[in-house]
A and B are shown apart, each in its own frame.
Chain A
Amino acid sequence: KAGVTQTPRYLIKTRGQQVTLSCSPISGHRSVSWYQQTPGQGLQFLFEYFSETQRNKGNFPGRFSGRQFSNSRSEMNVSTLELGDSALYLCASAGGGWGTEAFFGQGTRLTVV
């Protein structure tokens, strides 16, 4: 059974640009959530989607958005990139309701220059 797949693995963007990251969850999983990891702030929750609906959202500006498709694949978009958006972005998939075990992808390392 394939794990959680995130693409791309690495990305370099310029300030002001926008970026889209992709996450394919484990087959059969309907929940996808996104996290940002930085040395200063640690791992922080961005948002969670379940069956194409955003179920929870963390404390991030509106420049961070996401969506989920009918096949449960999810995309995360960051517009008007800032240097502080440089981070490892991790996606997790879970099989069911809130509190079920989450499995993480390998992450996308975004560098904003």
Chain B
Amino acid sequence: GIQVEQSPPDLILQEGANSTLRCNFSDSVNNLQWFHQNPWGQLINLFYIPSGTKQNGRLSATTVATERYSLLYISSSQTTDSGVYFCAVAGADGLTFGKGTHLIIQP
């Protein structure tokens, strides 16, 4: 099945800093999503981005499908950005998730 790798696994930043999270996948895909898991466990949709670039406020994402990677950018981080960020791709085995990036934003 598809392999999904996320980096870095952990990231600690000061409030106001920018960050880049990476997602590599092993096969061509027609669906890539980024999620933020809140403290209660719910996966919050950030981007549905099979290819190209999208922006939503301080967050943006880019997927280069031909090179099998996607990047999530967070600018001017706030403490509320803390949590685990997952990317997931659709394949024969449902959505395959990476292990996530655990982001901590310190005040």
Taking beta carbons and an 8 Å cutoff, which residues of A are in contact with B?
33, 35, 37, 42-43, 45-48, 56, 58-59, 88, 90, 92, 98-107, 109
Enumerate the 9 nearest inter-chain pairs by beta-carbon distance, A residue then B residue, closest first.
Answer: A45-B94, A99-B31, A43-B97, A104-B43, A101-B48, A106-B42, A107-B41, A99-B90, A99-B30
Q: Does B86 contact A (CB under 8 A)?
A: yes
Residues of A within 8 A of B42 (CB): 104-107
Q: Is the CB of B94 within 8 A of A106?
A: no
Classify chain B: how many residues form its interface, as a range: 20 to 34
Q: How far apart are B27's CB and chain A's nearest CB, in angstroms?
A: 13
Q: Is the CB of A45 within 8 A of B93?
A: yes
Residues of A within 8 A of B88 (CB): 43, 102
Complex Cα distance, B40 from A106, in Å, reads 7
A102-B33 CB under 8 A given contacts A43-B86, A88-B41, A109-B41: yes
